């Protein structure tokens, strides 16, 4: 539908294939130094130093987990306080209603529960998952990104992107192959 309106085939970007993770880190550095910003790398396992090389500095996950832990802990305690002091006070030989030491176990459990579950949801949302379709899957070689190949992709949305120059640049990195990444619709992906 909307794809028909635009002219020519839609391109997501250009992708280069490498065989060695450490080589990929070094090449990602070079691309960053050449001025490319809108790019991503795809690897079968986490490669140390790659996010830094691509210029990812900020990580929200620890903040989400921390905030969720604090919220869960406070919420867990308030729940018990409200139940035991306000909603359903039980007078046991005149003992205090706010028996906070006895509330610590559930407070602790709620802290952990909230941190884990919200942290997981945060990770999923920050990664924009679930996302069954993504243009990179159009590259046939991309299947190897979960096996033993390492890919660097410069996106068309990068201001410096140019079909010819960027291809030349990627070829200059001595990859095992450079592929055009087709896109089937005109949505914006990153």
Q: Give CA–CA dist 137/139, Å, rounded.
A: 5
**79 contacts 87 by C-beta, under 8 angstroms:** no
Cis peptide before 166 (omega within 30 of 0): no
**From candidates 1, 4, 90, 93, binder to other proteins by CB under 8 A:** 90
Stretch that binds other proteins, among 5-13, 133-141, 154-162, 171-179 (CB under 8 A): 133-141
Q: Is there binding between residue 116 and other proteins (CB under 8 A)?
A: yes
3-state helix, strand, coil in the chain (%, to 5): 50, 15, 35
Q: Is there binding between residue 78 and other proteins (CB under 8 A)?
A: no
Q: Give CA–CA dist 129/122, Å, rounded.
A: 10
**Residue 5 or residue 88: which is nearer to other proteins going by CB?**
88
Q: Give CA–CA dist 87/12, Å, rounded.
A: 58
Q: Is there binding between residue 183 and other proteins (CB under 8 A)?
A: no
Q: Which residues bind other proteins (CB under 8 A)?
A: 19-22, 40-48, 50-51, 54, 56, 59-62, 65, 69, 79-80, 83-84, 87-88, 90, 99, 102-103, 105-106, 108-110, 112-113, 115-117, 119-120, 122-124, 126-127, 129-134, 136-137, 143-148
């Amino acid at each position: 539908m909307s794809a028909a309106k635009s002219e020519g085939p839609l391109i997501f970007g250009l992708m280069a294939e490498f065989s060695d993770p450490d080589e990929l880190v070094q090449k990602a550095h070079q691309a960053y130094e050449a001025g490319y910003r809108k790019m991503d790398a795809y690897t079968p396992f986490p490669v140390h130093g790659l996010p830094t090389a691509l210029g990812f500095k900020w990580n929200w996950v620890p903040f989400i987990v921390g905030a969720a832990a604090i919220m869960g802990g406070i919420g867990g305690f308030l729940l018990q306080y409200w139940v035991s002091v306000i909603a359903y006070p039980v007078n046991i030989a005149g003992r205090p209603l706010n028996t906070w030491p006895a509330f610590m176990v559930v407070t602790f459990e709620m802290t952990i529960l909230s941190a884990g579950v919200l942290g997981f949801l945060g990770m999923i949302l920050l990664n924009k998952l679930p996302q069954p379709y993504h243009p990179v899957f159009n590259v046939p070689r991309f299947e190897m990104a979960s096996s033993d190949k390492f890919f660097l992709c410069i996106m068309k949305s990068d201001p410096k992107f140019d079909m010819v120059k960027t291809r030349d640049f990627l070829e200059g990195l001595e990859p095992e192959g450079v592929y055009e990444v087709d896109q089937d619709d005109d949505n914006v992906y990153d």
